[in-house]
Amino acid sequence: MGAIVGSAGGAAVSVDGTLSKEQADQLVARLLRLNETRDQLTELESNIMDRAGRYWDLNSEHPSYLVNVEVQDLILGSTHDNQVRSILRVQVTVQNNAEQPVQKTSKKTPKKTPKPKLYESVGPYASLAVWLDEDSDFAETSLNSTIQQISTQIVSDLAVN
C-alpha cells in the first residue's frame, strides 16, 4: 500500500505559565536559535517518513493514502519554581486517495472529509537556567526526544488503521 506524507508549519512557539515576560522572551529566542541550526518541522517530517517507510511504499506514483501532518503548537510550560517543559501538539489528517466506487447513477461518491486527529507529546521538566544554557544540549535533546515520541505515536496509529 502506498502513502505520501506531507507536513505543514504555521505553529509558533509560545510560553505558558509563570515566567516573566523577559524570561519567556529569552526562552523563545533560545528555541528560535536552535531552530536555525536544526529545523524541528523538517526533523518531524523526517522521523515520520523513516518510520512510515517500514509499513508503506512512500515512493508510489499513485499513493492510496495522503497523510498530512501539521504542527499546531509548541508550548513551553512553566511552574512557579521556573521549571520548564515542552509540549508539542500535532494534527494528522489521513485521506484515502483511492477512487470511490461508482453508484448506479454513474456519479462518483463524494470523498468523505477526513477527520483530523490531535497528538500531544510532553517533555520532561528542567530548570529555566538549563533551557537557556547555550553550552547545554538539554533543550535540543528534549525537543528531539519529543519529536521522536510523537512520530512514533503517529506512525503506530497509522499502521494499526
Pick the range with the lowest mean pLDDT from 48-57, 74-83, 112-121: 48-57
- Of residues 38 and 158, more confidence is placed in 158
Q: Is the pLDDT of residue 3 over 50?
A: no
What pLDDT score was predicted for residue 60?
A: 73
Report the alpha-carbon distance of residue 76 to residue 124 in Å, rounded: 11
Q: Is the pLDDT of residue 108 over 70?
A: no
Report the alpha-carbon distance of residue 114 to residue 9 in Å, rounded: 19
DSSP string, 114-150: PPPEEEEEE---EEHHHHH-TT--HHHHHHHHHHHHH
3-class DSSP state for residue 47?
A: helix
